[in-house]
Structures are given as C-alpha cells and as structure tokens.
Structure 1
C-alpha cells in the first residue's frame, strides 16, 4: 500500500496579537534589499488600522485584492506578470492576508513566480516543475482550512480545480484571532459552516483513517462549541473557530471532502457562487447522504437566522446544467470518498440534475 506522505505547514504561530511578530518572522527570509515582499491583502482592510501594521521595508509592495470573486487562473497569471514587470529581482516571498480567496491567491502567485507557463497548466495533482517562493498565510476569517491545505483552488477557462502539490502549503502561518474581529454574521456563518461541512464529509467518507479522524473529531467538537455553546465569550469563540478551521483543514488533507464540495464546485464555476455559501446551499439538500449532519446544520441555520439562498438554478438552460454536472462529476476523489469506487452507479448526470434543480 502506498501511504500519503503529506506536507504540513512547517511553522505556525498562534495567539491574539501575534500579527505583530510578522516583521520578526519574515526578516530572515529577505533574500536581498532589492527583492521585495509582496503582500496580497483583502481590500476591506484598505485604510484600516491593520494596513498600518504591515511591516514594509525597502521596495516591499502591498496589492489590495477584491475578494468578492473567487480566484481565477487569469488573475493569478496577471498578478505574476505585473510583479515580474515591476521588479528586476525575484521577490523574497508572498504574504496573503485575508480569507480563503487571499490564502489561495498567495499560494498560487508564490507558485507561479517560480514556474513557467500559465497557472491553468498546473490545475490537477502534482504537476509543478519547481517549488514555490517563500509564502506566508495570515487568515482574517476562520473556516476554509486554506491556511493548512496543499491545494489552491482556482477557476480556469475549462474547470474549477486546485493546484494540488507538496509545494502549495504555506511555509509559515500566523493565526491571530484578533484579526477575525468584526466579521459580518452571514460571512462568519457561511465560512464556519465550510469547516463544519469539511468535518461531516471527512468523518463519514470512505477515505477515513485514524489520522484524519482525530483532527476531524476535534474540529467538529470545536464547531459545536462555537455554534451551540452560548457560554463562550467572543474571544473564546474566535480562538476556537480558528482552531476548528486548522483541524478541519488537516482532516481533509489526509482524507477528502465529499458531495457538498463536489456539487459546490459546479455552482461556483457556472454562477460564481462563493465557496462558503455554495457549500451551505448544497448541504441544505443532502439529507440522503449526511442525515445527521444536515439535521444539525438546519438547527444552526435556525439559531442564527441566517438565510440560505434559494432558486439559483431556477432559470438555467440545459447547457448550464450540463456544465455544472460536468464540473461536479470531474471531482472524482471527492465522489470516491463520499460513496466509494462505484460512485457512478449512484451519481448519474440525471441524478445530479435533479439535485441541482432543488437549489
């Protein structure tokens, strides 16, 4: 048997206020005074106190990114090209500050600054020719697990699929729960539910093993504390959800996600649906596959009075449905984890269409 030789993030700092250690952390990684650090930062922080805390020296550059749209291969290539055009020397590293979109962009840009061609050439598993540049992830919302994963999910011209490789994980992660202060309720819920859904899919999947189970069970316990235990303070809630995200990411890294993610990719590719809310839209209809998980999910939706969008697929054409179905059925490892090697006996294009029509 060939076991997974999984790369973990080698260095991580956790704690409120730990963002202020960033200067100390990255200084030794500067390759020269002419090799900048590139900070990719969610544009919600433009003009905020956080912007003023970013440790800039020499010719370091901050690039603000609008995260309303999930990362595209064309966006990654354009960022890579503009950085190479502006600077004579290769950057010392790339630092992502934001949610899952910024985490994935930072990983992808660090990869493409040291690899030829287009990022769409590397959508798949273990296709990279060279290591990524030094890269740091600093999440400002918890749930996606992107800070710990070996993938960077990108929408390309033909598919939505990650660059999955041993070179993708961050070299350093800074987990500062204070950075998650002030996240809007809906966004907090959708992203937190991404973590919860990771756990359900991992813990009920055919790829489950003791390694992924230990992380998944801890993450699920933390999710339940955050979303059901009314006795947590806001600080405790932020701390625990940040740890849930980390453990949930570790769980799926050594197993896989399942039906909700496979179908969410189809929604996202066709309609641009954001990842967290897309998973919620799909998971709301998956009692057939995850009866207990969906029952608990619906209780959480009611508790926080969060609206799960409906009617997304009401006016789609046959071609639209075919596109979503094709993208979704292309996520073979996810379906295998959910339903086993014979998953195609359960999931047919007709079955998927009927499921999408409810959403």
Structure 2
C-alpha cells in the first residue's frame, strides 16, 4: 500500500540528522517497515537493528530482550513505530534499563496516546505490571496519519473508544485540573466530529483522530485513568476483548451506577453528558449498535475471578468510594453468569 507519507518521512529524517544518533533500536511489529521509516534511516546512513519480539500485551520478559538487543548492538536511540504495544515496549526498555537515551514515537493507531504519556502498560505472565515514570515519555513524536489507512475496522473501533474513555476518566478523576479537563473536552469534541466517518475510512478524519488520541493521552498523563480501566483488565484477559472494548463497556455501566447513586455525583454526571453528547443510556445504545455488548457471559468461577481482580489502587482517584458490593453490583449489571 502506498502511504504517501513523504512529508512525515522528511520530518523524521530531519529529526534523526539533528540528534546525530549513531545506531537505532527500531521497535516495531512483525511487518516492520511497511511505512518506510527504517528505509529512511538507511537513506541518511544511520544504522539500525529491528526489535520485533514483543506481544500485543507486552511482557516484561520481552522488554528485557529489548534491553539486551539495545546493549548488544551498541544502540544509542530508540524509534518506536506502531500502536501502544510498540511504544510501551520502547518505554519499558528505557524504564528497566535505567539508561539515558531518547525515544521517537510514530503512533499508528488513534487511541492509546502512549506517545505522550509517562505510563508503560506491561504484563508479567499476562498479569498487568505497568510502570510510570516522567522520564520515559517519548522525546519526539511524528503524527503520520497516513498509517491509519490500513488499520482494520475492529481496531479502529477499539482504539478510538480507548481515547474516548481516557478523556472521560481523566475528567472524572479527582486528580483532574483545568489543564487536563481542557484536553479531555477537546479530545471528545474531535471524537464526536470524526468517529463515524473514521470508521468509514474517510481520510479527512485521520489527522483529527490522531489528535484526539494525543490529547486524551495528555489528559490521563496529568489525571490518570480511573475505575473503568481498573474494571476492564479481567474482561480483556478472560474474554479476549480488545482493550478499548473492555474499557468502554466497563465505563458505560460504571457511568450508569454513578447516575443512580444519588445527588452527590449529579453535577459530574451532567457534565459528562454535556462534554460527550451522551447520557449513560445513550452510550450503552451506542455500544450496542457497534456490536460490543454481545458475548457478555461468564462462568461462576470467571465472574468470581473478575470481581476479586479489580486493582483497588486504580480506584483511589475515582470520585466515589466503591465497596466490594458496589464492584459486584456493577459487573452484575452487564455480565450474565452461567
């Protein structure tokens, strides 16, 4: 596929020539140079070695392999081209190696915002083991929106919803401030104005959807995610849902629970409707129309693992205290136990 991304390749070359990297660890997925960035390094005589040995949900063990590749090849710079997995792997390499090098990120999905956050979402034997450090935020970003052209429909849906949820959760967070809420509002405006056409692969929506993702990333970088992300991980692990789907479904029913919890959160619930264009019922219908509320069944054992698997540390910045019974009630509102 021809991506017609010459202006972004030029921007990339200009940055790489300016920083004078000697050898680059090129973190990317299997089809590693479909967008031409490694070829661009060859053209400007900068050596590189590809690192592709990581999972869609990157394991810490894979990050360690990346550190070995970085060191054994005497690299001094990292370029990550891909979605959150590639960028989080690059950030994990910097975090665990404790080496002082810079990262350039080229996000190829519109959703995670990983290119602007201090978080690296990692796993240890499929259990979440994320890290956070302001020093691992990528130093350079190239927003090559042409890369979204080949993104499959299901990934467009899931990653976009991740950005939507980042925006809402950051707005809900007790750590929210004026700056983070401005990022949330702008991201949600871009989502509302472009999402439908984006799913139709309208190229005019690619740039604003990447901006939506980036702004949502900036929002959570300041305010962090809240309960919906905490609720989502077992849905992702046990049901195999895309991360964005798992978070969006969780958010919908947590939103409903908030709306039915009396007057304390009434103002926040009303503001959520104002900035998203949905009330909770409308958002549930929206997810239903996208086919995302199907297969919400679990065995009793899976349900028990799910309700006891919520990371309560992730609930500390949520605006209402959720008891164990609250957690069970929320899950019971959308999961059928068989």
TM-score normalised by the chain length of structure 2? 0.79
Structure 1 300/272 Cα, relative in aligned 2: closer, same or farther at 3 Å?
A: closer
1:242-301: CA deviations, max 9, x gaps?
A: 111111111111112222111112333555543222213423433223674543434544
Q: Quick one: which of 329, 332, 337 aligns to 1:354?
A: 332
2:65 paired residue number: 78
Q: Quick one: which of 288, 295, 302 aligns to 2:257?
A: 288
Q: Quick one: which of 177, 200, 203 aligns to 1:209?
A: 177
2:11 pairs with 1:21: yes
Q: Is the contact made by 1:111 and 1:133 (CA closer than 8 Å) also made in structure 2?
A: no
Alpha-carbon shift at residue 63 of structure 1 (Å) = 2.6
Q: How many residues align?
A: 312
2:312 pairs with 1:343: no
The secondary structure found in structure 1 opposite 2:135 is coil
Alignment of 1:1-359 (within 5 A): 17-32=7-22, 36-45=23-32, 48=34, 50=36, 53-56=39-42, 57=45, 59-64=47-52, 69-84=56-71, 86-87=72-73, 89=74, 91-112=75-96, 114-115=97-98, 132-157=100-125, 159-227=127-195, 234-270=202-238, 273-286=241-254, 287-289=256-258, 292=273, 293=278, 294-301=280-287, 306-308=290-292, 310-311=294-295, 313-315=297-299, 317=301, 320-330=302-312, 332=313, 334-340=314-320, 342-344=321-323, 347-348=326-327, 350-351=328-329, 354=332, 357-358=335-336
CA RMSD in angstroms comes to 3.1
CA distance in 1, matches of 2:324, 2:64: 39
Structure 1 301/309 Cα, relative in aligned 2: closer, same or farther at 3 Å?
A: closer
CA distance in 2, matches of 1:16, 1:247: 25
1:121 paired residue number: none
CA distance in 1, matches of 2:231, 2:31: 29
Q: Which moved more, 1:270-279 or 1:143-152?
A: 270-279
Alpha-carbon shift at residue 214 of structure 1 (Å) = 0.8
1:330-354: CA deviations, max 9, x gaps?
A: 4x2x3133234x4337645x44663
CA distance in 2, matches of 1:181, 1:150: 27
CA distance in 2, matches of 1:233, 1:307: 18
1:62-104: CA deviations, max 9, x gaps?
A: 233565x3111111112222443x42x3x11111101111111
Q: Is the contact made by 1:39 and 1:61 (CA closer than 8 Å) also made in structure 2?
A: yes
- Whichever structure has more helix as a proportion of its residues is 2
- The answer for unaligned runs of 5 or more in structure 2 is 260-268
- The answer for unaligned runs of 5 or more in structure 1 is 1-14, 116-130
Alpha-carbon shift at residue 200 of structure 1 (Å) = 1.7
CA distance in 2, matches of 1:200, 1:166: 22
1:108-137: CA deviations, max 9, x gaps?
A: 12333x33xxxxxxxxxxxxxxx5421111
CA distance in 2, matches of 1:19, 1:296: 41
Q: Is the contact made by 1:94 and 1:133 (CA closer than 8 Å) also made in structure 2?
A: yes
Q: Is the contact made by 2:51 and 2:69 (CA closer than 8 Å) also made in structure 1?
A: no
CA distance in 2, matches of 1:358, 1:101: 31
Q: Is the contact made by 2:9 and 2:36 (CA closer than 8 Å) also made in structure 1?
A: no
